Structure 1
Amino acid sequence: MMSLAHPWLLLLLVAPWFIWKFSKPHKERVSAVRVPFFRDITAAVGAEAQQGAVVLRRGKFQMAVALAVWALIVIALAKPERLGEPVVVEKSARDIVLALDISGSMDERDFMGKDGELQQRLDVVKTVLKDFIAERDGDRMALIVFGSKAFVQAPFTEDLQSLTGFLDQTVVGMAGPDTAVGDAIGLAVRTFEASDVEERLIILLSDGADTSSRMTPINAAAIAAERGITIQTIGVGDPESSGSDRLDLGALEDIAKRTGGTFFVASDTDALAQTYARIDEMTPRIVEEASFRPSENLVWMVAALGSIIGVVGLGIMILMKRRQTT
């Protein structure tokens, strides 16, 4: 599709007509010889006397070349361009941080797999989490892992395959044996400082009570709520256990409620998959769309055509004038 960036400049096409119609003809004085017996001379040679003022006339070819060159100059000024097909660019309108507990208790083998055998908690979580990540195509996501300390395993990225690769590299105990839920939430809140979207979500998965945070999970959740960050919490431990392996259901539920999120409990593989499915339903993909049409500038083609017509036309007129004088 052809288009003009400045179509209003086409009004200049009629400029030559206005100049011809309303401007005064160019006058030029030339030297002449005054002859007293001019009439006798003209009669002797059989010539007819004419007015001294002469209006020069342009030939049809000259006018055609001049008008064509002018029209192409005006069209070039109007900036012709070829428009391509509309391109729609989708940009994620929400950022998600996955906060994953990889403390020593995640090495427990108490999750019943589909084959009926007990599997490691972290292996099951990673398998289900990969499916959840694959469904978030277009969202920006980051991965935080925590044990005794919290670390950013992967910063915000739209490359979900690379995020899955970072998830595969996580192993139990690489962040320490204890559980720092509060520090993980605080680190996630700081991670959002690089985010410029309004919708921000933390999905926190833990299988134990907080034992080593410098900031309590409740205080960290309060800060997240103040900054408009929602936290969805998932508990995968045994609430009946004791010590550091005890799952603090009350704390995880309080964290979610303080930020407007929801608390889930997953006791096996199917329950964990259903939990992520529910989160997916509650937080559907949010995108911002922007469309544009790529354009190809054609000014050079019009300008080149005008130059060729002008040069060729001038050459032809010079040749015609030489033939007339010989």
Structure 2
Amino acid sequence: MTGSWTLEHPWFLLLLVALAAVAWLHSRQGSAAVAFSSLGAFDRVQPTVRVRLRKLPDWLRVAAVAVLIVAMARPQMVDTEVLSGEGIDIMIALDMSGSMNAIDMSQDDIANLQANGQEPQNRFEAARAILKDFIRKRKSDRVGLVVFGGEAFLRFPPTLDYVRLLNALDTLVLDDGRRTQDQPDSCKNNCTINGSGTAIGDALNRAFLRLEKAKSKSRMIILITDGKQEGGSLEASTVPKYIASLPQKERVRIFTFQVGSGRETRLPAYDPLRGKPMTDRHGRRLYQRPDRPFPTDPELLRQVASLTGGSFYDSYDAEKFSKDFQDLERTTFQVKVRTHRRELFFGWLLAGLALLGMEQLLRRTWLRAFPV
């Protein structure tokens, strides 16, 4: 909950300008005087505290009027509370195939980043960063994670424990494609999952099975991939077609993101003999065009989304992916805002009246002025 201070009738504050002008004119006016033949004797007289404070009632009156003017402007404290929606069950199916190592940037853009001491994000890193930001914004939505490459497995069941889910995302290691001769099926960088395929159908199946018995009114799968169906035991269209056959209240919407375009695609360069990343003489990583384009199937992803009542996003680079994900949040996750206004009028009114009372008390007692 956040709070802010506001005025219902701010134009009343214009009276403060008039008050300041009146106070200034009043201070310029001289006081009544008594004629003396000589003032020499008064030079040796030190003014008392009462004399020094003789104008205090005037300034108390000015302060009181100023406070009452603010009271008339109706000050209010506005407390804004952002409420999450009804609580959505969400499964994220994240592609961890080898092609997610690709970088969708021109060589000039890469060079500009490296000149500033930065390295470009690959598709997987960009997706992970956006997903982490998405998860941090959730309040009462249960979120789970399925990862897939040549196969698919559940990484984290739907949960409200966003901290542990974020930690699970951080521990994911993408297959960089390097292999040893004695273990050609095992990735050299201790990857989370073998990236030699894109088992979209298996990933959707695992995600759907986790949502099938969920009790929330709204359930959805967010599929993020850069390729077409390759490997796995189920076709990518199997689960969407099954969902489409279900009664409306039992359906699960699938939102699909096709990341990467193939137009400006590069991969990190590795030394073929030592298997280490190649760098230039300044220590900056080198990137090269892939030997062949990565196969994609946007029509399949569009069909998957259409069958289930979701949406398809063609996120051709990291910037477009970020904007598409923001669009998903804006259109799908209805955020309710509750505003509560607290009136501060009476506090200011009482303060102004207290200052007026103090002014009158001083004028009639300790700082009473006698006529001359």
TM-score calculated relative to the size of structure 1: 0.56
Which residue is 1:320 aligned to? none
SS at match of 1:235: strand
Which residue is 1:202 aligned to? 221
SS at match of 2:212: helix
Superimposed CA distance per residue, residues 96-133 of structure 1 (whole angstroms, 9 cap, x where no aligned partner) = 11110001111112256894753211111111111111
Please tell me whether residue 191 in structure 1 is matched to residue 247 in structure 2: no
Q: 1:170 to 1:244 in 2, by over 3 A?
A: farther
Looking at structure 1, the residues matched to 146 and 243 of structure 2 have their Cα atoms a distance apart, in angstroms, of 16
Contact 2:149–2:193 (8 Å) recurs in 1: yes
Q: 1:194 to 1:150 in 2, by over 3 A?
A: same
Q: Quick one: which amino acid aligns to residue 168 of structure 2?
A: F
Which residue is 2:238 aligned to? 219
Aligned-residue RMSD, C-alpha: 2.6
Which residue is 2:259 aligned to? 236
- Long gaps (5+) in structure 1: 1-88, 288-326
Specify which of 254, 258, 261 is matched with residue 307 of structure 2: 258
Q: 1:243 to 1:204 in 2, by over 3 A?
A: farther
Which residue is 1:132 aligned to? 134
Which residue is 1:321 aligned to? none
Which residue is 2:179 aligned to? none
Contact 2:85–2:334 (8 Å) recurs in 1: no
- In the TM superposition, residue 90 of structure 1 has moved relative to its aligned partner by 8.0
Which residue is 1:155 aligned to? 157
Q: 1:277 to 1:90 in 2, by over 3 A?
A: closer
Which residue is 1:93 aligned to? 87
Specify which of 301, 319, 330 is matched with residue 270 of structure 1: 319
Contact 1:139–1:285 (8 Å) recurs in 2: no
Identity rate, percent: 31
SS at match of 1:245: coil
Looking at structure 1, the residues matched to 205 and 125 of structure 2 have their Cα atoms a distance apart, in angstroms, of 25
Superimposed CA distance per residue, residues 190-228 of structure 1 (whole angstroms, 9 cap, x where no aligned partner) = 111341112100000001100112111112111233240
Contact 1:232–1:256 (8 Å) recurs in 2: yes
Contact 2:262–2:293 (8 Å) recurs in 1: no
> Bigger radius of gyration, 1 or 2?
1
Q: 1:286 to 1:220 in 2, by over 3 A?
A: farther
Contact 2:84–2:139 (8 Å) recurs in 1: no
Which residue is 1:167 aligned to? 169
Superimposed CA distance per residue, residues 251-280 of structure 1 (whole angstroms, 9 cap, x where no aligned partner) = 011100010111001122221110110100
SS at match of 1:96: strand
Which residue is 1:110 aligned to? 104
How many residues get paired? 199
- In the TM superposition, residue 239 of structure 1 has moved relative to its aligned partner by 5.5
- In the TM superposition, residue 175 of structure 1 has moved relative to its aligned partner by 2.0
Q: Quick one: which amino acid aligns to residue 164 of structure 2?
A: S
Q: Quick one: which amino acid aligns to residue 233 of structure 1?
A: T
Q: Quick one: which amino acid aligns to residue 149 of structure 2?
A: G
Looking at structure 2, the residues matched to 155 and 269 of structure 1 have their Cα atoms a distance apart, in angstroms, of 27
Q: 1:194 to 1:91 in 2, by over 3 A?
A: farther
More helix by share: 1
Q: Quick one: which amino acid aligns to residue 242 of structure 2?
A: I
Q: Quick one: which amino acid aligns to residue 235 of structure 1?
A: Q
Contact 2:84–2:138 (8 Å) recurs in 1: no
Greater mean deviation of Cα atoms: 114-123 or 125-134: 114-123
Contact 2:150–2:197 (8 Å) recurs in 1: yes
- In the TM superposition, residue 92 of structure 1 has moved relative to its aligned partner by 4.9
Contact 1:150–1:183 (8 Å) recurs in 2: yes
Contact 1:179–1:208 (8 Å) recurs in 2: yes
Q: 1:92 to 1:165 in 2, by over 3 A?
A: farther
Q: Quick one: which amino acid aligns to residue 219 of structure 1?
A: T
